Structure 1
Amino acid sequence: MNRVQHPLSAAFPAMSPADFEALRDSISNIGVQNPITLLDGMVLDGWHRYTAATELGMTCPEVDLAPTNDPRDFVLAQNKARRHVTQAQLALATTAVYDWMPEGNPGFVQLDTECPVAKTTAELAQIAGVHPNTIKQAKAVQKRAAPEVIEAVKRGDVGLPKAAAISKLPQEQQASALTAPTPKVAPAAEAIEPSVSEGPQPDDIGPDAEELAALAAAEAADREALAKLLDSDDKLATAHAEITRLNHLTAQLQQRLNGLMNEKNEAVKQCKALQRQLDRARKGQAA
């Protein structure tokens, strides 16, 4: 039976050609070691394993997702730690995953009776590990951008600030705008989606002044609460002092390790240079 990729799996960027080729070689040698996970007969996790095995004419072990598992949480957990996934790609995938609604799946609906299906921007930001503004940009792209723009973000070719600005253009103009300078946005929107120039751009534009002030106030309150707690508990204060000392020691050791690594690299370079000189001398004697 030919399987298709589940929409939740497709929310994440495809594996690079080099990584896929390495996976294909591994499967060719030892087969598929970890079963793929199915949901409604579609591949929820392990699409690249399944594709490689199919191309090689090999069987691929399968398991069904447990009915008690939320497929959105499952697929995000399986993909969140993938190598080379940028904040933009993760934010876009997270918004797409939690926008997904199953059809004819009462078990999934029952699973969500204790928590709403819809998640706030702050909740999505916490899940993805990005700033809320990054999620706002991802939502704008998911809602208004042409498929070509969404795919460009998934491939890592375009950052979210530019993609969000492009999404404000008419759909028929968006694909051509991918290779043009970022469109100007209205002043009211620039706090969220600023105009940027060509070239690599940060995915997260950071908090605004009001958010910074709120963060500073929260940090000050936390420091004050911690100081009161330490004053009232001698054992806790001693433990805190020891942790601080160990943190300083760790930083010093890391700095020393970095220095030793630099020295090692320099020694390797010198050895290679000496080896080249020795090789040339041997060639001269042989001649």
Structure 2
Amino acid sequence: MNITINEELRSYIDPLTANEYAALERSILAEGCRDALVLWGEVLIDGHNRYAICQKHGIEFRTVQNANFSTIDDVLLWLIDNHLARRSVSDFQRGVLALRKKDLVAARTRAQQDSALPVVAAELPAPAPIGTREEIAKIAGISSNTISQIEKIQKTAAPELVEAVRAGTISINAAAAVASLPSAEQVAAVAGGKKELQQAAKLVREKKSSARPARTDDPLEAPSAAPAKESEVVNEAANEVALLSARIDELTAENTALKQQIATLNAALEDANRSAASA
């Protein structure tokens, strides 16, 4: 069987982390390759990691054909929808995939409008144009505010910060705040780890909050600058909630660890008492 690897397709979806790849490898070694690889002719379009693991260990695998594609864009749109249907995909990945779908659909629509030649329709139904951030959010299954933050991360975040979001080291809204810093400061925050990233995000929010004009009930004393828009206030509130939620998670983890330590000490004390009683 001839299987061809198309590098554009292989790298189109974010690669698995080292831990995810190791878990997949353990699963295939224990249970075999349960899911069939998907081919378009001889081109592998889904299952690159499974294929690599099976080749490495000489494990058998099945293949299925999907002949409904006319162009590479058809394949890319199918890949996006296929991955968005998986529950294991993170919110950041969902947002990135939905934004890619919007760009693909827009490019296809422009090409069809600009071309004087008849367009050969694909077997798959053509997706409807994606016009608003709300439509993108609906495709991704996340909020429009999160989509806005992901767009900011894509435009201004250093590669190291993007990788930190992908790995779950920092939340999307915290990363969007850190992405407003100079690239060197972003890289330094990532190098400092999770707490350093959270602190950097907090400082950015505090700086933004202090720069906002103070509010007053007396219109004669009100500053000349326009008050913050309602959407900005909502975003700030959401950021604060996320920061508090992250802190709660940290405290919960610390509390759990302390309980485990106490349980271990109690068990050791009971063992010592029993030993002393039997002596």
Q: Is the 8 A contact 2:178 2:200 kept in 1?
A: no
- Provide Cα deviations, 1:127-163, integer angstroms capped at 9, x if missing partner: 1122223323434555676766655543445635147
State the shift of 1:33 in Å. Answer: 0.6
Deviations 1:178-200 (A, max 9, x none): 32469xxxxxxxxxxxxx95259
Match in the other structure for 1:94 = 98
Question: 1:36 Cα shift?
Answer: 2.0
SS at match of 1:125: helix
- Tell me the distance in 1 between the aligned counterparts of 2:99 and 2:176: 16
Distance (whole Å) between structure 2 residues aligned to residue 270 and residue 148 of structure 1? 38
Equivalent runs, 1:129-140 vs 2, <5 Å: 129-140=141-152
Larger relative contact order, structure 1 or 2 (CA cutoff 8 Å, min sep 6): 1
Percent identity between matched residues is 22
- SS for the counterpart of 1:165 is coil
List gaps (5 residues or longer) in structure 2: 112-118, 191-197, 204-228, 235-258
Establish whether residue 127 from structure 1 lines up as the match of residue 139 from structure 2: yes
Unpaired runs of at least 5, structure 1: 183-195, 202-207, 214-265
The answer to whether the 8 A contact 1:89-1:156 is kept is: no
Distance in 2, matches of 1:78 and 1:41, equals: 21
Per the alignment, do residues 136 and 9 of structure 1 end up closer, same or farther by CA in structure 2, a change over 3 Å counting? farther
* Shift in CA distance, 152/274, structure 1 to aligned 2, threshold 3 Å: closer
Correspondence for 1:280: 272
Residues 1:62 and 1:144: Cα distance change in structure 2 (over 3 Å): farther
Q: Shift of the alpha carbon at 1:18?
A: 2.5
Aligned to 1:76, which of 69, 78, 81?
81
**RMSD over aligned Cα, in angstroms?**
4.7
| TM-score, with length taken from structure 1 | 0.51
Name the TM-score, length of structure 2 as normaliser.
Answer: 0.52
SS of 2:25's partner is: helix
Q: Aligned-pair distance for 1:124?
A: 0.8
Aligned pairs for 1:1-287 (under 5 A) are 1=2, 3-4=4-5, 7=8, 10-39=11-40, 41-65=42-66, 67=68, 71=75, 72=77, 75-83=80-88, 85-100=89-104, 106-108=120-122, 111-112=125-126, 115-142=127-154, 150-157=162-169, 159=172, 160-162=175-177, 165=180, 174=183, 176-180=184-188, 198=200, 209=230, 276-284=268-276
